[in-house]
Homo-oligomer: A and B are copies of this chain.
């Protein structure tokens, strides 16, 4: 084997590892979201996650990849490469770096499905299953790929100087904004807000072990999400990113746990979980470009921001059963700004000017506008068609029985 062939094969191996790690994040999301919702809807949320990854990979193959990386139409979207057509086998893609087509596609497909699955948690316990399947298809086929075309695909946002290493904005905020729009248009679950005071009531999920399992599977997968985003066989960068990811996730979990204890009196396990995820979302944009200390600091901030964001979302009467808007949306913004502030090269804290920070803000605004508008059209259309929300009776009795024919736990009765 020639040295070049060996190097290329090792690159494939590295991205295969990263791809499967991002894949298993879908089990993480499934367990997290199931754990944070009620048992009468467990089969429903689980089914959403199974469909997201299944149909999402197919939709991204058929349409999404081409929109994201095909020949660009005015820096807005691609228009070739649908069904991966027009490539040579093992052709090097992904710009100057040069990644073999097949494994690059596989890695990217897992990202597309991640952006979609974030929505499923925020709209849980009240949305029709068929409508969600439509959302998953549109997210992976169109909404996320256009964001990708603007950024990683080299479109107009990239040309502003916007930098988002592994997707705090591109993946997580995209999912978070769509989640916000979806949750708003759907309206809250019955009983979430006190009809008199308007105050939010806690609707606890049904299984903390599933929450923890989901969180740790997500953390596990995130090492591939961030570690794989180096997209090159660069040992120095890969090792660095593994450490910033570990420190930010750890700091986020520890901070959220301690912060809720100091401010609320109890050790809130769901918040520890959300704190870990927030720390991870927070480091994602800058995992390769902030120092270890700044990684620790963004994790710490994320652990507080997520708690405050959850309370804020409640206060504006939007019902997000799993906290997806806060974790992925609010902290996605924090993580993206953090690059502008704390990147060792170009960040404001380290003698950079405001240029990078401005690019980050503009990129966030541009992506958020596109996702908000497109997902509003999507959810609005489904609503106008009367296909968005289940009936009151179905919601009260549980989506499992009505949408899926049998309960998620056939031998348990809800208390």
Contacts and interface: CB of A to CB of B under 8 A. Distances in A.
A254 interface: yes
Nearest to A209: B34
A223 B16 contact: yes
A276 B403 CA distance: 20
A55 B220 contact: no
Contact of A238 (B13, B84, B219, B275): B13
Contact of A102 (B44, B105, B243, B265): B243
A250 B110 CA distance: 11
Interface stretch (A227-235, A333-341, A351-359, A368-376): A227-235
Contact of A61 (B21, B247, B267, B272): B247
A238 B11 CA distance: 11
Interface in A189-244: 202, 204-213, 215-217, 219-220, 223-224, 227, 233-236, 238-240, 242-243
A interface secondary structure, majority: helix
Contact of A211 (B8, B46, B212, B250): B46
A409 B318 CA distance: 25
B254 A55 contact: yes
Interface stretch (A22-30, A145-153, A158-166): A22-30
B243 A105 contact: yes
A57 interface: yes
A270 to B, nearest CB: 9
A58 B296 contact: yes
Contacts of A312: none
Contacts of A224: 20
B20 A223 contact: yes
A106 interface: yes
A272 B136 CA distance: 15
A257 B50 contact: yes
Given A27-B217, A254-B54, A102 B273 contact: no
Contact of A236 (B50, B90, B296): B90
Interface in A38-79: 38-39, 42-44, 46-47, 49-51, 53-58, 61
Contacts of A208: 42-43, 46-47, 400, 408-409
Contacts of A19: 223, 242
24 contacts: A9-B234, A12-B235, A13-B233, A15-B239, A16-B223, A20-B224, A24-B220, A30-B209, A42-B209, A46-B209, A50-B215, A50-B272, A54-B252, A58-B250, A61-B292, A83-B292, A106-B246, A133-B257, A204-B406, A206-B409, A206-B411, A208-B400, A269-B404, A412-B415
